[in-house]
Structure 1
């Protein structure tokens, strides 16, 4: 998955915003569609601007690096759907979905245009642009499986 796939998923989101949330969201997730989009926007944006908190270096070099390799090899990820980003602002359940979707599109545009080294991921550590693009696309697909089928 490349930045193109990430951009394609956000385009599918805008085309499918009128669908019921349950058609887009992963079952069992604790957040509404707006909160999920805010969370996805945060992680994409932070890969450029820097995450608020990182796990210890030893974790990133061992378990985090292993998880990254497994996800990239499988082409899919599995993580707790309610895991907020440590140190990130709280997700606003009342933020209009259109605003949250716009924020995600802005974050993807920021990411896609980024040419410098990316900020280290809190768990995976350093990632190349392509690795981040693939991981972000997998993250979106896990939270919003309805976009993959759209």
Structure 2
């Protein structure tokens, strides 16, 4: 069985070249298609600009949220197998190319947004640099489950 890619993005401008390569041919590991992954990533990036529909209680953000935040930023990795509430999971059957273009547009929206960003629903307040790094980590996490066709890994 194939293993996930080891993937990291130094900046968000490296995400779409990877997605574009995957659109040429890929196989996915895990539960989501490339279209679902792109949709999920776009939703998270949009949330950092427009706000999220939920927020954990401040005591959680200051305690367990702070611990999780430190771990993500120190390791540059996200935990695998975290169960999202179903309302935050992308619908099946999404078109990979259409969702990739939506992700591209969302990345442009984020890059051009100059106002203060929203609060992270679990980690609390983040600077723009922290948001950008978190988005790059989040993109690498999910896209590591998609292998370019013919990669052998």
Q: TM-score range by the shorter chain?
A: 0.7 to 0.9
Q: Which residue of 1 aligns with 2:66?
A: 65
Q: Does residue 33 of the first structure (1) align with residue 43 of the second (2)?
A: no
Q: Which residue of 2 aligns with 1:91?
A: 90
Aligned length: 141
Deviations 1:75-100 (A, max 9, x none): 2222435525x855x62322211111
Unaligned runs of 5+ in 1: none
Higher-helix-fraction structure = 1
Unaligned runs of 5+ in 2: 1-8
With normalisation by structure 2, the TM-score equals 0.80
Q: Which residue of 1 aligns with 2:20?
A: 14
Give the number of the structure whose alpha-carbon radius of gyration is greater.
Answer: 2
Residue pair 1:119, 1:126 contacting (<8 A) in 2 also: yes
Instruction: Give the direction of change, closer, same or farther, for the CA distance of 1:83–1:124 in structure 2 (3 Å limit).
Output: same
With normalisation by structure 1, the TM-score equals 0.81
Residue pair 2:49, 2:110 contacting (<8 A) in 1 also: yes
Provide the rounded CA distance (Å) in 2 between the counterparts of 1:46 and 1:91. 15
